[in-house]
Copies of this chain bind each other. A is one copy, B any other.
Amino acid sequence: MHTKRIRFPGLEKRLMSAQEAAELFRDGMVVGMSGFTKAGDCKAMPAALAERARRDGLSITLITGASLGNDSDGVMAEAGLLARRMPFQGDATLRRKINAGEVMFIDQHLSETAEQLRAGNLDAIDIAVIEAVAITEDGGIVPSTSVGNSANFAQQARRVIIELNLSMPAALEDLHDIYVPGPRPGRRPIPLTHCGQRIGTRAIEVDPARIAAIVLTDSPDSPSTILPPDAETQSIARHVVGFLQGEVDAGRLEPSLLPLQAGIGTIANAVLHGLVGSPFSGMTMYSEVLQDSAFDLLDSGQLTFASASSITLSERRHQAFLDDVERYRSRLLLRPQEISNHPEILRRLGLIAINTALEFDLYGNVNSTHVGGTHMMNGIGGSGDFARNAHLSIFVSKSVAKGGAVSSVVPMATHVDHTEHDVDVVATEWGLADLRGLAPRERARLIIERCCHPDFRDELRAYFERACAQAGGQTPQLLGEAFAWHLRYRDTGSMRP
């Protein structure tokens, strides 16, 4: 079977086991691995490298597209392999090690990692490990269900290891559009002007001489674990859909809207799902990840094209997609994350970006990453790329977390990932605050009345009034009690008085 998949003559000589390929690694190396929100991650090398870490004390810097599946990050972290990790993760074990200060985690805007590597702002990649569905007659690497940073890793690395995943259908070929911006100075404009446009090649072009090993695998991507829409997320979705309808009614948007981006996770997926059956049609997506909801909209016929860097689906949908790629071929493209998230393109297209906050404050400053201001959840991901450059930047969150003990609308965000400048709209299940063109004190009044859970509303209103009276300023805050709710939660297990 793999002979049809390794089409460049002679390359099958580089076939070896993951254990043999793992011997190519040296302590302190910088390794670039495929994988983006669990999709297209390497299935065999993580365990083989973890084994070397346990046996030989191997320790590396690992850079990926985004999060890996198959517990790989956990297995590698547990084995002590990961000295440094960037630019995103979503694994419970690795998260624990990061928050214990045992793994140095560098949280980055997902469009920037490739740029920083190219600029020399990060140490160069020694070895790239890329999951592929085929190697073309020219030696091109055809990625699987994500592109992520794989093109950049493969082109920059001294040696490339391919994980050829035989369980991935060959039909995934031709779904990718690989474009890598040129060096600076002298870079040309990126020619992309609409979601469905091809601007690059169908495979990652590398000199086959640098392909040091090919490892055969057959494990599937791990399924997405997001939860189905519930009453709260459906309510958030209704508010967002109502807001967009208002924009159409006011003549600021066409019924086809503008290209949509939706963040990872349960809530953003539910909001996008809320567009199914809405009056909008002829929609497009220019996103980072396509979750189940994007396929719901492709299936409903409302979405005419979806461009992203990865496809991360629930078990059922994932299999259905792999079994019938043809059904989607003309409406789908996977791009490098540098292109799916590129400020140049996002600003040009003018997206409607929907991302999720852990908490946001009175003034619309958003914390997407740090629980209690200190503990990393996943990372900023692409939310900053999208929120900064969107036509409309929408942040959604449930109004409370932890069974109602925690308000997600707080006096002051304990960590800021997105400043008020990059947040046009916030919504919880209680309502939506349209913050465009408003000064901070005006934003505060709307956020309190529309978004805060009623159980916390009086206290938040009282805080705001006291801050205006006692501190004043453009952005009234009481530095002595700005985090009082969080301290109460720490000490009593609840933010409630």
- Residues of A participating in the B interface, judged by any CB pair closer than 8 Å: 84, 98-101, 104-109, 112, 115-116, 119-123, 181, 184-191, 193-194, 250-252, 258-259, 342-344, 347-350, 365, 369-370, 372-376, 380, 384, 388-389, 391-392, 414-417, 419, 421, 424, 436-439, 441-442, 467-468, 471-477, 479-480, 482-483, 486-487, 490
Q: Could you tell me the distance between the alpha carbons of A180 and B370 in the complex, rounded to whole angstroms?
A: 39
Closest 4 CB pairs of A and B: A374-B473, A189-B189, A184-B350, A376-B474
The one of B119, B415, B421 in contact with A350, judged by C-beta atoms closer than 8 angstroms, is: B119
Known: A193-B189, A374-B472, A419-B416. A348 touches B184 (CB 8 A): yes
A252 touches B120 (CB 8 A): yes
A109 touches B421 (CB 8 A): yes
Q: Is the interface of A mostly helix, strand, loop or mixed?
A: loop
B439 touches A477 (CB 8 A): no
Q: With CB as the reference atom, state the residue of chain B lying closest to A370.
A: B475
Point out the residues of chain B lying under 8 angstroms from A416, CB to CB.
365, 416, 419
**24 A-B Cβ contacts within 8 A?**
A98-B474, A101-B468, A106-B439, A107-B474, A116-B437, A119-B252, A119-B350, A121-B437, A184-B348, A184-B349, A185-B259, A185-B350, A189-B344, A343-B343, A370-B473, A374-B472, A374-B473, A375-B472, A376-B475, A414-B477, A416-B419, A417-B419, A419-B419, A479-B490
Point out the residues of chain B lying under 8 angstroms from A109, CB to CB.
421
B479 touches A483 (CB 8 A): yes
Point out the residues of chain B lying under 8 angstroms from A483, CB to CB.
479-480, 482
Known: A104-B439, A344-B348, A468-B101. A189 touches B187 (CB 8 A): no
Q: With CB as the reference atom, state the residue of chain B lying closest to A183.
A: B350
Q: With CB as the reference atom, state the residue of chain B lying closest to A389.
A: B343
Q: A414 to chain B: closest CB distance in Å? A: 6
